Chain A
Amino acid sequence: MKSELKSLGLATAAAVALAGGAAGQDTRDTIRIVGSSTVFPFSAAVAEQFGRTSDFPTPVVEATGSGGGLKLFCAGIGVEHPDVANASRRIETSEIERCAGNGVTEIVEVKIGYDGIVLGNARSSDRLAIDIPALWLALAAEVPDPDGAIVANPYATWSEIDPRLPAVAIRVMGPPPTSGTRDAFVELVMEEGCGRFEAVAAIEESDEDRYDRICASIREDGAFVEAGENDNLIVRKLEADPDAFGIFGFSFLDRNKDKIQGSKIGGVDPTFDNIAAGVYPVSRSLYFYVKNAHIGVVPGIREYVAEFTGEDAWGPFGYLADKGLIPLPDADRSAMADRANSAVPLSPRSM
């Protein structure tokens, strides 16, 4: 039995050696991409195509969320840090400063297209047509009453807000606060909607914190249900509950149009063309950021950017459009491609 103990010891030593031997990595030949889970499917599709058609290994794409991704991206220069960060919002000034503080000074910003955020319900019920102020009234935690006082949201059914809306209980399933989709929804719908009410706008001057809170707070009395990060789950729940509505990304509407329909917002349908034309009000831009210092150090970054900004990928008939990415207008696309491929970094003034 002595030999058994000995072999256990050997195995431990081997495992420790294995772990220790790795500590000194100083080169990397695979591109590392981190960031937004909204951009993830597009970035992964480009990575796959890039790996298939080039001699470089397929890049590794991680879904960490926009904020988490930029944090990793800005942590420093060197092969242990990622080369590209995907984001479903623009990089913030504070993040650029954090980057600069860690020596990441030259960052190339590439806007890749748009993502529509859709309010939808099951095909078996009527389609909803609503405008942004009414949607805010339906979902805000506090709303103005007819006398202009701010009260807890009293609306239980859609028709109480506007008699033209259906007389069914307000029940909306949406993403939790940790999600980028939720951030974008708050910015594009909630904050947009609340400013249209005089009673709320008046508060902005007297008490800005309170104004921000009233605008951004989503009701917690059961009318808004946090349904998790998984948009497929929301789609599945909508099918089962015809009276409920859901908030999710356009690609999930596109893939499930046999089962769900998108509501008109401000009179505009959430279609590919309307989002691309910028008519549909609830859409946001998607980005990726490239670390210039890594170009030439990690092989293939330039070629990956070229693949992403090629017409076959992000053009109106490219494979990313098929995945649900709404392309930029033609002129913006070619200008952006030029800037990306010549690696023009963000200057603090351009923010």
Chain B
Amino acid sequence: MEIRVKCECGEEECSEWTILELQGVVETQSSFQGSVQNLEIGRLCHSGSSQETYTFTVGYHELTGSKVTLNKPLLVLKKLQKCTDGSSEKETELEVVGIIRSKILFKTRPKPLFSGTS
């Protein structure tokens, strides 16, 4: 079997995706479980102190991280199932839909925010 990796765009026009990477998992309150769509996770801020420092505030936690340029880019591929004419067999194709050149990495433990107390 041969699967062609195709792309509609050239390297220059390929749309750039990105990743926010953090340790562990983000837990959703039990009342939202199973329907997280549209729910706000947190707020990403490019802080003024340094070029590449970002904070991500999730609930009462603040994560501090930085923008990392990937040594090797990640390509975002989408698996397509195409029906070929006159046969019931489906043909698989992979299409490049995006490229990821940088991510924002939060590698420290979250810092609790105590706002409005004490």
Question: Do the two chains bind?
Answer: no
